[in-house]
Amino acid sequence: MDLQERPHRRYNPLTREWVLVSPHRTQRPWQGRVEATAAQLEPAYDPACYLCPGNVRANGVRNPVYTSPFYFDNDFPALLPESASGRLDEGGLLVAESERGICRVVCFSPQHNLTLASMRADEIRLVVDTWAQQFESLLSLPHISHVQIFENRGALMGASNPHPHCQIWANQTVPNEVAKEQESLAEFSIAHDCCLLCDYVALELRHAERIVGENQSFVHLVPFWAVWPFETVLLSKRHVSGLDDLTGQERDDLSAMLKQLSGRYDHLFSTSFPYSMGFHQRVAADGARDLSHLHAHYYPPLLRSATVRKFLVGYELLAMPQRDLTAEAAAQRLRETKPGTDGTFPGFL
């Protein structure tokens, strides 16, 4: 079967959904909107930034003069820790339920103009430790079933502030995408008596054509079923259910991989690359530690360059996702961005 020239469908075993791949369309000329790429140089400290050390946030609270990762409860949370319990159900057609939760913000660094690509690996390790501590702490609460750590990078992805930071939302119930993955992992485990993602990692390492980078503990790859043009997934090689299960060496390896993959994106597109990323870890349920396999999804919207974006429209909204660039071609382009001996990408950062 010719996967590089002919239209075909690819199956995502995690969500049990299909994506239409049309590699012959990569030669299609682009006459759509082209975005400006002028770089905005940010200062190391911005007195108007509500995330910088010592500055006052919108609710009047002043940030401490922090020197390492700093977290706080979101001043404008999407979820509230206290919410009256209630349910609406009119014939199964109008259905609503109350939802409790906690929303936090984690500042990666006191320096306003950094990204994960430009931070040192030892600085990122402090962020990883903070993530692990927050994940374990929040998931232990009796009313929390799921903890989502995610980063929206760049104004294109809805980030309201360029200061290096991410968010953590802890839900009372398990969200849609995670629930689909958990069901798929459970069914695969029953059918094959093994972990879907453990088998997938081993398969991809054997093929090697979609691998972008790897170290002793993690592998970064373009998934076979990718929807976004440069979508990638970062997976632990060892079966661990969450960040809190990682050894010290694995946390160091994760820090190095986070720096490298962010640098690859930036170097390939010669810009501070916009993306949404998030970790999928175990949920609060019996057997979740055995079932779940730590991984992070990266969803970038750029299509061919820093100026051409990709949105889900038309057929993709009404029928099924479709992409022109194959996972193998995207992986090759990312793989060909070679870091220097110090782990950085010369010519950009």
- Share of residues in the chain with pLDDT > 90 (%): 65
Residues 6+ apart with CB under 8 A from 243: 128, 131, 132, 135, 149, 251, 254, 279, 281, 294
CATH number belonging to the domain at 42-82+91-172+193-335, selected among 3.40.710.10, 3.40.50.10320, 3.30.428.10, 3.30.365.10: 3.30.428.10
Taking 70 as the threshold, does the pLDDT of residue 181 lie above it? yes
Options 112, 146, 165, 220, the catalytic residue: 165
Q: pLDDT for 5-18, tens place per residue? A: 778 899 999 999 98
Q: What does the DSSP 8-state code read for residue 78?
A: S
Residue 38 half-sphere exposure toward CB, CA atoms < 13 A: 2
Burial 68-103 (b: 16+ CB within 10 A, else e): ebbbeeeeeeeeeeeeeeeeeeeeeeeeeeeebbbb
Identity of the residue numbered 24: H
Reply yes or no on whether 293 is catalytic.
Answer: no
Distance CA 41, CA 197 (A): 40
pLDDT band at residue 35 under the 50/70/90 scheme: low
3-state secondary structure of 250: helix
Distance CA 139, CA 145 (A): 6
Q: What is the pTM of this model?
A: 0.91
Question: 104 with 168: CB under 8 angstroms?
Answer: yes
Residues 6+ apart with CB under 8 A from 146: 139, 170, 171, 173, 174, 175, 178, 283, 284
Distance CA 334, CA 49 (A): 33
Domain ranges of the chain: 42-82+91-172+193-335
Q: What does the DSSP 8-state code read for residue 303?
A: E
Q: pLDDT for 103-139, tens place per residue? A: 999 999 999 999 999 999 999 999 999 999 999 999 9
